[in-house]
């Protein structure tokens, strides 16, 4: 119908991406009911599912029944599996890739009406492109995911200084299976998380209504709302919340997905870019200097994670060990504000360090700049034209980044 009418088609997953990557003036397809399990191979630790299944359903309902789990996750699990892999969603772990590196095969419905079976051995170029395809190549119908036996994670959280982490970065990153840290701007302090698989029994502290809900949510939202009218409050808020929630050591053992995921609290604006891992110190120190000297105010926390390199065509980690740096601006009570100066300085620093923007978030880069960042960019663009000769899956977002 879309081809006859000359209209475009886009697929939306869980509508999580804070950009217009899934928007269209034509037909929008919602995959929420295309979410069934097709088959499970427990011996190979592989599961074949329809592409609209959400990560949270996999984590909670489906995989535990078969004694399996996903090897790595990001901060949330509201996305569909196809949406997560199509935009380069990632977790952290020096020996782990982005989520798409755990895809064994997929089925792709192209703009020409063909259904292609794609894997490392069957249509390998299409597979390499579609594992982070931005929805530009067609509609992912099914995926086969490489999982692992269900596991528990032991998390140890401690605090230290930003300089300590940056001076000893390789030791920190490679000292645990999954390492991440949260920097509190204006404080020079970070909370580090070391996550490792364990046989220990589950051991967690029940959440406190007073500290977690009243102080950690409602008081924080109110404080940030006040800071919208008097921005010099921001450094004090960052210091206070670091002292209350992050200054003391913590430890827990829990099911893997519960440790990977965490509560993102209330509405927020985020942007995330990545740089080669060896540029981490240079970038964060320059960002800190700009915050301190230029006196613009940065909400906490800045989240920093790491992945290994891969060979997926336009993966954010293509060809390089990668550090992902995520900055945030909360929107207390839904206020539509943005610290534009902070955003611009952050993007400038990351661009000069060879940064690549997160595909699911807003960014200013265009075709020429992106072609210099991705060695296989032209190959991806040519393949897109071949699979979708009528531009059925294009939209404003894709035209901004793919058009000459």
What tens digit of pLDDT does each residue of 102-127 get? 999 999 999 888 999 999 999 999 99
pLDDT of residue 306: 97
pLDDT of residue 317: 97
pLDDT of residue 258: 95
- The encoded tokens of residue 303 equal 């989240």
The answer regarding whether domain 152-357 maps to CATH 3.40.462.10 reads yes
Distance CA 275, CA 273 (A): 7
Question: Which is more confidently placed, 88 or 17?
Answer: 88
Q: What is the mean pLDDT of residues 383-390?
A: 93
Lowest mean pLDDT segment, chosen from 5-19, 54-68, 297-311: 5-19
- At the top level of CATH, the class of 2-149+365-402 is alpha beta
Distance CA 40, CA 44 (A): 9
pLDDT of residue 321: 96
pLDDT band at 362 (very low <50, low <70, confident <90, very high): confident
pLDDT band at 221 (very low <50, low <70, confident <90, very high): very high
pLDDT of residue 166: 98
Share above pLDDT 70 across residues of the chain, in percent, rounded to a whole number: 100
Question: Which is more confidently placed, 258 or 295?
Answer: 258
Beta carbons within 8 Å of 5's beta carbon, 6+ residues apart: none
- Alpha-carbon torsion (294, 299, 300, 304), positive or negative: negative
247-277 pLDDT per residue, tens: 999 999 999 999 999 888 888 889 999 999 9
pLDDT of residue 300: 92
pLDDT band at 340 (very low <50, low <70, confident <90, very high): confident
Helix (H) or strand (E) holding 119: strand 115-119
Checking if the pLDDT of 158 tops 90, the result is yes
Q: What is the mean pLDDT of residues 285-307?
A: 93
pLDDT of residue 268: 86
How does the average pLDDT of the chain come out, rounded?
A: 94
Lowest mean pLDDT segment, chosen from 1-5, 55-59, 80-84: 1-5
Checking if the pLDDT of 295 tops 80, the result is no
Distance CA 78, CA 57 (A): 9
Question: Which is more confidently placed, 172 or 361?
Answer: 172
pLDDT band at 177 (very low <50, low <70, confident <90, very high): very high
| DSSP assignment string, 200-255 | SPPB-PPPPIIIIIIIIIIIHHHHHHHHTT-TTHHHHHHHHHHHHHTSS-EEEEEE
pLDDT of residue 262: 84
pLDDT band at 308 (very low <50, low <70, confident <90, very high): very high
Q: What is the pTM of this model?
A: 0.94
pLDDT band at 142 (very low <50, low <70, confident <90, very high): very high
Residue extents of the structural domains in the chain: 2-149+365-402, 152-357
Beta carbons within 8 Å of 175's beta carbon, 6+ residues apart: 194
Rounded to 5°, angle at Cα 317 from 364 and 58: 100
Checking if the pLDDT of 15 tops 80, the result is no
Checking if the pLDDT of 207 tops 90, the result is no
Q: What is the mean pLDDT of residues 6-32?
A: 86
Checking if the pLDDT of 366 tops 90, the result is yes
């Amino acid at each position: 119908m879309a081809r006859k009418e000359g209209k475009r088609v886009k697929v939306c997953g869980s509508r999580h991406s804070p950009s217009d990557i899934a928007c269209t003036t034509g037909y929008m397809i919602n995959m929420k009911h295309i979410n069934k399990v097709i088959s499970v191979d427990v011996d190979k630790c592989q599961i074949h599912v329809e592409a609209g299944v959400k990560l949270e359903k996999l984590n909670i309902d489906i995989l535990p029944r078969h004694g399996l789990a996903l090897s790595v996750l990001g901060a949330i699990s509201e996305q569909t599996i196809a949406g997560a892999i199509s935009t380069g969603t990632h977790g952290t772990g020096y020996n782990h890739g982005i989520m798409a590196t755990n895809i064994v095969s997929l089925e792709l419905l192209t703009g020409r009406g063909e259904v292609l079976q794609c894997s490392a051995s069957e249509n390998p170029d299409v597979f390499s492109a579609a594992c982070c395809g931005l929805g530009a190549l067609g509609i992912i119908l099914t995926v086969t995911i490489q999982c692992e036996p269900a596991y528990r994670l032991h998390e140890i959280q401690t605090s230290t200084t930003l300089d300590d982490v940056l001076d000893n970065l390789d030791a920190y990153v490679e000292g645990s299976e999954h390492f991440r840290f949260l920097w509190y701007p204006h404080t020079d302090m970070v909370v580090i998380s070391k996550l490792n698989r364990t046989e220990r029994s589950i051991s967690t502290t029940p959440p406190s209504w007073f500290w977690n809900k009243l102080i950690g949510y409602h008081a924080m939202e109110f404080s940030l709302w006040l800071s919208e009218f008097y921005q010099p409050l921001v450094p004090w808020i960052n210091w206070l919340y670091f002292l209350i929630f992050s200054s003391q050591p913590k430890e827990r053992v829990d099911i893997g997905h519960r440790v990977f995921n965490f509560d993102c609290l209330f509405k927020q604006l985020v942007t995330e870019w990545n740089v080669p891992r060896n540029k981490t110190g240079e970038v964060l120190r320059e960002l800190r200097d700009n915050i301190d000297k230029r006196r613009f105010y940065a909400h906490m926390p800045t989240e920093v994670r790491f992945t290994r390199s891969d060979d997926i065509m336009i993966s954010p980690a293509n060809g390089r060990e990668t550090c992902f740096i995520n900055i945030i601006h909360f929107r207390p009570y839904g206020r539509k504000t943005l610290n534009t100066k902070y955003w611009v300085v952050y993007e400038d620093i990351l661009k000069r360090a060879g940064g690549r923007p997160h595909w699911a978030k807003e960014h200013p880069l265009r075709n020429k700049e992106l072609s210099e960042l991705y060695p296989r960019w032209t190959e991806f663009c040519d393949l897109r034209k071949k699979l979708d000769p009528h531009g059925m899956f294009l939209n404003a977002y894709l035209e901004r980044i793919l058009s000459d």
